[in-house]
Amino acid sequence: MLEVVVRGWQAAPVPLSDRDRAILDFERSWWSGPGPKELAIRARFQLSPTRYYQLLNEVLDDDEAVVYDPLVVRRLRRHRDLRRRARFEGRRAGGPQPR
């Protein structure tokens, strides 16, 4: 939960926007629709895939997203962490390692 502390006072958590919830809803079920994901992103959000993934990563870092859809957020965070680790280590993380 995102909280802001100003001079001893705590502000209320900032709820997810409609767009943030729509992104999480899309991630929950995009694979059941026809066609490539990139085309679905452009059609639904009028965004380039690059911008969509930037927004998705921001949403994944928001604790309110976990409250909204914990399974999707944890799955996406896990996949993101595996990709980051693979880039850092220079090989596929989580999979069989070359010998």
Query: If pLDDT is split at 50, 70 and 90, which confidence band does 97 have?
Result: low
Report the candidate in 69, 66, 63 with the shortest Cα–Cα distance to residue 27: 69
Instruction: State how beta strands 9-10 and 5-6 pair.
Output: antiparallel
Rounded to whole angstroms, how far apart are CA atoms 63 and 68? 9
Report the candidate in 28, 99, 96 with the shortest Cα–Cα distance to residue 59: 28
pLDDT tens-place string over residues 52-85: 999 999 999 999 999 999 999 999 999 999 998 9
pLDDT tens-place string over residues 3-21: 555 555 555 567 899 999 9
Domain ranges in the chain are: 17-88
**Residue 62: its pLDDT value, please?**
95
Q: How far is CA 31 from the centre of its chain?
A: 15
